[in-house]
Amino acid sequence: MGSTDKRGRRLFLDLNNAFKRDNRIDEFDYIPVMEPQTNCSPVVLVNHKLGIEMWSLKILLQFAYHSLMEWRATSKKFIESQEIICLSRAVVLLNPECSTAWNIRKEYVESGELTMAEDLKLSALVLTKHPKSSETFCHRRWLLSRFIDIYLQSSQGSNLSTGSGQEGFVSMDAIDLNMDLPQVNPPPVQNGVHVDGPMDYQNQMKTEIHVCTCAAEKYPCNYYAWSQRIWLIQHAYNCSSQALVGELHRTEGWVSAHISDTCGYHYRQFLLSSLCRQRESLSQQLSLQYTDLLEKEQGYIVDLIGTFPGHEAMWCHRRFVFNSLYRHYSQDLSPGSPDRGLIGESATQRQKKTRLEFEPSEWAQKEEESVKTKELKSLSSAQKQLAQKYLDWMRKIVIK
């Protein structure tokens, strides 16, 4: 069974032994050794870090892949399930885009021979080496969907949200929205995933946020990691206003440290757009106004642009924020608009609003003057070019 290179079986056993010796492996990578130099195993395990010398990768992958496909094609039932699980593990570690290997693992999860915790543990490890693997994120999404369904079933309807108007939604009243990982000494973990006890809903969702953040750190503009995070907010947190505001605050520091990463800004735009659709609950539950969040975001991005001149990603985000504010102010002035006067404000509070805040054209002119007096006079030629593009966009698209 497998490839003709007899070293493949030996490498496969070495990899399995590494996982048997240490169930806390939290990182995986290739070691740049192109030819065997000693009689030692190319599978290296040090301080919970797993490495495989590059010369052995092809041999190991060929053995594991061909063995797995041969079993798949002939359905050799005499091969133990654990052997197939280990073969699929070797394949996805080296080639995480192999959907067949992930599908085999799905079958074992469904049969109960492989736990969701173990598979979440492995896929998190895969992402430490392959942070932009779409198949790995897709598999995690499948696992988390099952986990959420099980949580809902175990709650026996007591935790179903009635505010959403849809069945099958987790109630936010039962969920801790602090998504920071606990700073305690837990039992053995795998990349933040606790696997020695029953998986806890809150801890697992916090862990997924952590996994997405680590993947985004390892690969710039990681669309798959941020899409996974959006999916999590939508399905695990129901896009609740508490979770959205919390994520808006939590990702502020990350975006400030990755100023050219467009995915970070796109994620914040998703959060703000979702909050726009929940303006009433935002005001009633958190005593926050959507306009205040937009104005804060505008101040935040203007400060970033001033601190780090010449980055187009920030200017694109500024366009989004400005357009959102402009349209929101315009909507407030529309006759018969249900949002006229901002939801949640009393008549007295609305009267205190300055004329500028309710005159979109004047507010837009103020923004234009701000750009002319600051960014357009920057010493950076790139900054001035981006500022001019922004002004041209304002005149053509927004100010009519």
Q: What is the pLDDT of residue 181?
A: 53
Among the candidates 110, 133, 163, a domain finishes at 110
pLDDT for 207-229, tens place per residue? 999 999 999 999 999 999 999 99
Residues 396 and 270 grouped into a single domain: yes
Residues 261 and 398 grouped into a single domain: yes
Query: Beta strands 43-46 and 27-31: pairing type?
Result: unpaired
Among the candidates 238, 253, 280, a domain finishes at 238
**What is the C-alpha separation between 349 and 134, in angstroms, rounded?**
49
Residues 392 and 276 grouped into a single domain: yes
Residues 181 and 265 grouped into a single domain: no
pTM here is 0.85
Residues whose CB falls within 8 Å of the CB of residue 309, separated by 6 or more in sequence, listed in order:
375, 378, 380, 382, 383
CA nearest to 28, candidates 92, 85, 82, 87? 92
Residues 224 and 165 grouped into a single domain: yes
Strand partners, 46: 49
pLDDT for 147-168, tens place per residue? 998 888 876 544 444 334 344 5
Q: What is the pLDDT of residue 360?
A: 72
Residues 70 and 177 grouped into a single domain: no
**Cβ atoms 328, 290 nearer than 8 A:** yes
Strand partners, 51: 29, 44
Residues 252 and 400 grouped into a single domain: yes
- The number of domains in the chain is 3
The two tokens of residue 362 are 């004047």
Among the candidates 92, 110, 128, a domain finishes at 110
The two tokens of residue 325 are 């504010």
Residues 87 and 54 grouped into a single domain: yes
Q: Where do we find the tokens 């520091």?
A: 253
Residues 48 and 150 grouped into a single domain: no
**What is the C-alpha separation between 48 and 177, in angstroms, rounded?**
30
Could you list the pLDDT tens digit for every one of the 400 residues in the chain? 555 678 999 999 999 999 999 999 999 999 999 999 888 999 999 999 999 999 999 999 999 999 999 998 886 666 889 999 999 999 999 999 999 999 999 999 999 999 999 999 999 999 999 999 999 999 999 999 999 988 888 765 444 443 343 445 555 444 455 666 554 444 444 433 433 334 588 899 999 999 999 999 999 999 999 999 999 999 999 999 999 999 999 999 999 999 999 999 999 999 999 999 999 889 888 999 999 999 999 999 999 999 999 999 999 999 999 999 988 888 765 554 544 444 344 434 444 444 445 567 788 889 999 999 999 999 999 999 999 999 999 988 765 5
Residues 136 and 197 grouped into a single domain: yes
**Kind plus residue range of the DSSP H or E element containing 13:** helix 7-21
Residues 16 and 52 grouped into a single domain: yes
Residues 389 and 252 grouped into a single domain: yes
Q: Where do we find the tokens 């100023």?
A: 259
CA nearest to 67, candidates 1, 140, 162, 149? 1
Q: What is the pLDDT of residue 183?
A: 43
User: Which structural domain, as residue segments, surrounds residue 182?
Assistant: 115-238
